[in-house]
Every structure is written in C-alpha cells, then in structure tokens.
Chain A
C-alpha cells in the first residue's frame, strides 16, 4: 500500500519536498500580450500553476442598472478549468470558492485602478486557471495585473502576491499544493510593492502574532522580486522592436528609446 503523505514528510534536512529552501519562490514565468482578441492579456507560469488573464474594456456597463456615474466598475472572474487538477474541488464551474476569489480580486483591482477616470463604464478582468498546484489566487491576480497594464488601463501600481504558510512548525514562502493541503496554516497576501500597500490578506489555520509579522516581511520581500518579472514581461515587446532596429546599427542595447 502506498504511504500516506503527512505534514512531517514535507520538510527533510532543512529542505522542502521539491528541494526549495524555506524562503524560495517557485520558478515564475510572466508573459504579456498573449491573446490577440483581448484589450490586454497575460500568462503566468508559477511552478506547476498555469494561469491566463485577459482584460476587456473599459466598455458600456452590463447590466445597465449597475452603472456608477462616478467610477468604473470592475468585473473580476476567477475560474479553474475542468482539467486543471481539481481533485477535492469537486466539479468545475463557478462554485463557492471561485466566487469568493473573484470577489477578493475585484476589491484588489478597485484599489489600484484609477476607476474615477472612467465613469459609467466597466472593466472585465478574466482569470482562467489552466493547471493548478496551490497558490492560484495569487498567481491569477499577478497575471491579471499584468493584463491590466497591457490593456493600458491607468493604475497606481502593478500588484502581485504570494502566500506564506506554516508547515511542520516552519514558516514557508510560496506554498505548493501539498504544503497547502497538509500544512497547518496558509496566508495569501497581495501587495502593491511600490509603497507596500497590503491589498489582500486572507488566512487559513493559526499563526502567532510574531509569525504573522515575519510572514508579512517574507511576502513583501518576495513581491518586490515578482514585480521585476512583471515589469520585464511588459517591457519585453517594446524592447524586442527596439533591439531589432537599433541592435544592428551600433551593436549595443544601451541606447535611448
């Protein structure tokens, strides 16, 4: 009979089950502008997580009676694909969990998008999880933020996030599926890294006050690294064109735009 994985098995000789240290992120790939039809789009590969995000609008509000004369509405939709590895998430489609994540994502974007510039309009933010391996909400919001910037929607900052949790008595950064399911506690956080604003803060399980403070510092430090990846993804397209034209002329990429 196969051995049942237990919380203690997740940490061996000061390493995690996938070989990471306690404060290491999974490898992250961010790409911007992957979908042609959308106003803006992004793709994030975060360890084994694969997430697409697309932004449409700002456009006319539907249903019309929801119209706000002072600001734009944000319609966020997080959903997991039926083949994303649902396991105990039961069947696919909108469910309690995805409605909750859509709601918290909406509040994140309401706080960074300059919605007052677009009265009587609506911005659709779609986040589609293609493959899941723990931490999809932070991966989705990280992707959606790049998609919003790619759509040219004015924002105060790019947002990104990471989860911190406690497994076998140790605080770990960026939990994967097993650490999330078997561990003692999981705390996803979304930041605006420029000024350190905390925009989403949820927690399962228990942490002491001291641990929460340490977890906060770990997450903020990691978010500053993720922001650099987001920036590079957005700039990549423009840099490619620049290098194609200027690279041949003088052989270096240090010139001005």
Chain B
C-alpha cells in the first residue's frame, strides 16, 4: 500500500537516514512531497544532490586555470579538473561525466568527462530519474527499442537523446514524469510506445 505524503508526515516509526526524510523523537518524517511504500519515502520533487558514482550530464559554464565548472541542473556545481581529461571544453558544451567525489559543501569533482556531440538534451524533475531508468534499466531500454534512439540518462535530471524518433522518446519520458506515482507504469508506457506515441 502506497501513500501520498507532504512535509511533516510520518514515514516510519523507526529512525533512519535517507533522502527527503528527517528524524525527530525516534521517528522518521517526510521533508518533501513523496509516496510512502513499506516505510520508505520516494520523493516526487526536489533538487538533485550530487552523489559519488552517479553519471550526470553537465553544461560547461566557466573555464579556469584548474579546468572547467559544469552546471549540473542542481544547487551544486561540478568541477572538471584539466588533469582528469584529455579533451578541451568550451563554454556551453554538453558533457557526460561520472562523479568521483563530493566535498563537504556539496560540490562534485567530475571524471571521465566526455563531450556529447549533436543530439538533444531534455531536462526533467531529478526525482523522476529512477522511474525513467526503471528496474535495471528496463524502462529506458524500452524507449530506446521503440524510438530507435540512443539515450543516456544523467542522474541529475538531464537526458541525452540522439537519432531515431526523439519526439516519441520525449513524449514517453514526459508521460513517465507525470504518471510516475501511479502503479502499473511500465505497462502503460509500453502500450503508449506500441501505439507509436499516442494514448
């Protein structure tokens, strides 16, 4: 049984640490809007917090002697060290990267930075990314298969699409975002894609 909650509602009687919750008097309470399932909160909204090991899509916004700063569609920025990469970037470039480290003020050190050529970037609510990827990538591979597009999903809420029917892929992703909290999502999306992007 899932349950919709707003900030300040009880998620679990036991205290634990996770995204979008806080502890008070030995209980876990929600700090954001979300869906509670088996004492776990799945946030419906909220900014992206960089985490070590995440793959993200950044946009270069600053160049310095140390390397580059990338906007991560988040309150926090990503830093690409010039030593970590062989490529040279320019302001406005779209890059895919892996987060190597997050410091105490939330800033991310990026590695494996590669420039993304051509294609399109779609920005969505970062909280919906787990649903867009699906269980071990099932949802995104469904979209890739039907739209015959190359997709790379950044954990920070940016999705890179290249080739194929990108408009159908975008429609499917937006449908996932608006219906992510209703069960039976995979069935609806595959039906949607089978009909060629129509409801």
Contacts and interface: CB of A to CB of B under 8 A. Distances in A.
Contacts of A4: none
A6 interface: no
A57 interface: yes
Contact of A238 (B125, B181, B184, B188): B181
A238 B42 CA distance: 14
Interface in A89-116: 114
Contacts of A117: 49
A241 B32 contact: no
Given A114-B31, A120-B106, A257 B6 contact: no
A196 B178 CA distance: 34
B4 A246 contact: no
A72 B49 CA distance: 14
A238 B44 contact: yes
A244 to B, nearest CB: 9
B4 A239 contact: yes
Interface string B62-74: 0000000000000
Given A241-B181, A242-B182, A150 B22 contact: no
Which of B75, B105, B178, B179 counts the most A-chain CB atoms under 10 A from its CB?
B75
B33 interface: yes
A93 B4 CA distance: 40
B13 to A, nearest CB: 15
A119 B7 contact: no
A118 B45 CA distance: 16
Nearest to A232: B6
Nearest to A122: B75
A89 B59 CA distance: 46
A83 to B, nearest CB: 33
A82 interface: no
Given A57-B75, A194-B8, A245-B179, A154 B105 contact: no
A235 to B, nearest CB: 5
A212 to B, nearest CB: 26
Contacts of B76: 120-121
Interface string B30-55: 01110100000001111101000000
Contact of B6 (A121, A234, A239, A245): A234
Interface in A210-257: 230-231, 234-235, 238-239, 241-242, 245-246, 256-257
B20 interface: yes
A58 B24 CA distance: 24
Interface in B169-191: 178-179, 181-184, 188
A203 B26 CA distance: 36
A257 B183 CA distance: 6
A152 B46 contact: yes
B127 interface: yes
B22 to A, nearest CB: 6
A158 B31 CA distance: 9
A241 B29 CA distance: 25
B44 A152 contact: yes
Contacts of B90: none
A69 B125 CA distance: 26
Which of B20, B24, B182, B188 counts the most A-chain CB atoms under 10 A from its CB?
B182
A239 B43 CA distance: 15
Interface of B: 1-4, 6-8, 20, 22, 24, 29, 31-33, 35, 43-47, 49, 75-76, 104-106, 125, 127, 178-179, 181-184, 188
Interface of A: 40, 57-59, 69, 72, 114, 117-121, 149-158, 192, 194, 230-231, 234-235, 238-239, 241-242, 245-246, 256-257
5 contacts: A119-B106, A149-B6, A154-B20, A238-B181, A257-B181
Given A155-B7, A234-B33, 15 more contacts: A59-B75, A114-B22, A118-B75, A118-B106, A149-B32, A149-B33, A150-B33, A153-B46, A154-B32, A156-B7, A235-B4, A235-B6, A238-B4, A241-B179, A257-B183
